[in-house]
Amino acid sequence: MAGKRQHDLSHLLLRGFASRCEDNKVFAWQFRINAPPSDIEFSLRDIGPSKNFYGKSGQGTLDDLITFEVEPRHTEFLIRARRDHAIYSPADEKIMIDLVHSVTLRTKNFRDRFENLSHVALGKLEPIFTDPDKVRRWFINEVRSGSTTGDKLLTAYVEHRYGAKASERKYFKWKKRGEFAQWLHTSDSEELLKKLTTAVKPHFSDVKNQLPELAKTSHNNSLEKAFHLGTENDSPRYKRYMQMRWKVLVLKDEPLILGDVGVLQYERKMRKFSAAYDGIGGDMILLPISPKLLIVGALEDTGPLPSAAEVNYHSAALSIHYFVASRHTEKEREYRKIIGSIALQIPEKWSEDILPTPA
């Protein structure tokens, strides 16, 4: 991977879905969103590359860390598992956790989803924070709900009006909520809100323009921290994976595909799929490693295992750009039509809990 053409899904993982090998080159079928299925297989070298996706390459860089430290930890296991999935050693479970954890975090799918949600959040915030009336209503709602933001707003008001010591008295501060709401309708606050919204407006455009670079920087900083040996145990996701039991299982009803989402999360009771990076609520984790083999992590051994068709459907629907397959049939062409159909949906809970809604 080292160099300018950096891949968010490793060649070793993609190799499991090879359609053929020729002159030391490995090929697979790639099905891309909004593009008719190609009649030509793609070299793995040309599947999912991004220029300097992890930043510049070279000694001590993130690209170097992934290429020479992270990926080699998985090589022997993947080769052996594809030869005989029933061969296990006690160390294999930790290797599977490390592989699944790294694939979950490093994809372009993950970065693009973060960037898209940030755009959506800014789109919802901009009409609120550039309108004095909407800002006023939002301030009042926050104070009434007792949120952290509302408490800070009320504290600032009481400090300004009655002094810092008064703001430390919780009951006194709580009684001033109605007074604060009334003050927000005075001419003094009107002038202040106009200045605030006028000053904020140009910053939204600046942030929107900077989002791709901000997403890249934030993502790469997180990856560097997560991939250094010994630091992954600090991650809540990694700790949850450590609680699971891991196996390589065979699914036979149809050949598996690999979406750019990489790892899937599955809630067995609700039969609900999501990207593995979307919280840590699922009780089963799934990573296809070949057309027949699936790495499975589960909190309990009981409960239904999804079919290959279900895994494939959601691998395609939760992908944003493409999936790869070892064959090119009507089934894969049908899955191509649903690429991205779930990937960029805004989680209902995320929308309700994080985005402010004016009254």
Give the residue from 353, 83, 61 showing the smallest Cα distance to 227: 61
Structure tokens at 237: 């996701």
pLDDT at 352: 45
Share of the chain above pLDDT 70, in %: 94
pLDDT at 28: 97
Q: Write down the domain spans for the chain.
A: 5-106+244-350, 113-220
Residues whose CB is less than 8 angstroms from the CB of residue 292 and which lie 6 or more positions away in sequence, other chains included: 250, 251, 252, 255, 256
CA distance 35 to 323: 12
pLDDT at 358: 43
Residue 225 confidence class, pLDDT cut points 50, 70, 90: confident
pLDDT at 117: 85
pLDDT at 37: 84
pLDDT at 200: 85
Residue with the larger pLDDT of the pair 151 and 231:
151
CA distance 294 to 311: 10
Residue 233 confidence class, pLDDT cut points 50, 70, 90: low
Judge whether residue 354 has pLDDT over 50: no
Region for residue 253 given its phi and psi (left: phi exceeds 0; alpha: psi -120 to 50; beta: otherwise): alpha
pLDDT at 320: 96
Residues whose CB is less than 8 angstroms from the CB of residue 159 and which lie 6 or more positions away in sequence, other chains included: 166, 167
pLDDT at 312: 98
pLDDT digit string, tens, across residues 324-341:
999 999 999 999 999 999
Judge whether residue 231 has pLDDT over 70: no
Cα distances (angstroms) measured from residue 48 to each of 109, 125, 137, 222, 314: 11, 33, 46, 21, 19
pLDDT at 355: 46
Judge whether residue 346 has pLDDT over 80: no
C-beta separation of 316 from 343 below 8 A: no
pLDDT at 229: 55
pTM exceeding the 0.75 threshold for the entire prediction = yes
pLDDT at 66: 93
Structure tokens at 31: 């099905």
Section 33-39 average pLDDT? 87
Residues whose CB is less than 8 angstroms from the CB of residue 345 and which lie 6 or more positions away in sequence, other chains included: none
C-beta separation of 57 from 2 below 8 A: yes
CA distance 351 to 347: 6
Residue 353 confidence class, pLDDT cut points 50, 70, 90: very low
Q: What is the 3-state secondary structure (H, E, C) of the chain?
A: CCCCEEECCCHHHHHCCCCEEECCEEEEEEEECCCCCCCCCEEHHHCCEEECCCCCCCCCCHHHHHHHHHCHHHHHHHHHHHHCCCCCCCCHHHHHHHHHHHHHHHCHHHHHHHHHHHHHHHHHHHHHHCCHHHHHHHHHHHHHHCCHHHHHHHHHHHHHHHCHHHHCCHHHHHHCHHHHHHHCCCHHHHHHHHHHHHHHHHHHHHHHHHHHHHHHHHHHHHHHHHHCCCCHHHCHHHHHHHHCEEEEEECCCCCCCEECCCCEEEECCCCEEEECCCCCCCCEEEEECCCCEEEEEECCCCCCCCCHHHHHHHHHHCCCCEEEECCCCHHHHHHHCCCCCCCCCCCHHHHHHHCCCCC
C-beta separation of 286 from 311 below 8 A: yes
CA distance 17 to 37: 17
C-beta separation of 4 from 16 below 8 A: no
Judge whether residue 307 has pLDDT over 60: yes
pLDDT at 327: 96
pLDDT at 281: 78
Section 236-264 average pLDDT? 93
pLDDT at 24: 85
Share of the chain above pLDDT 90, in %: 62
pLDDT digit string, tens, across residues 51-90:
999 999 888 899 999 999 999 999 999 999 999 888 778 7
Section 16-42 average pLDDT? 92
Considering the chain, what is the average pLDDT of its residues? 89
pLDDT at 183: 94
Section 187-215 average pLDDT? 88
Judge whether residue 250 has pLDDT over 70: yes
pLDDT at 256: 98
> 322 φ, ψ to 5°?
-165, 170
pLDDT digit string, tens, across residues 199-211:
888 888 888 888 8
pLDDT at 100: 96
Structure tokens at 43: 């070299």
pLDDT at 208: 84
Give the residue from 285, 231, 257 showing the smallest Cα distance to 96: 285
CB atoms within 10 A of CB 194: 12
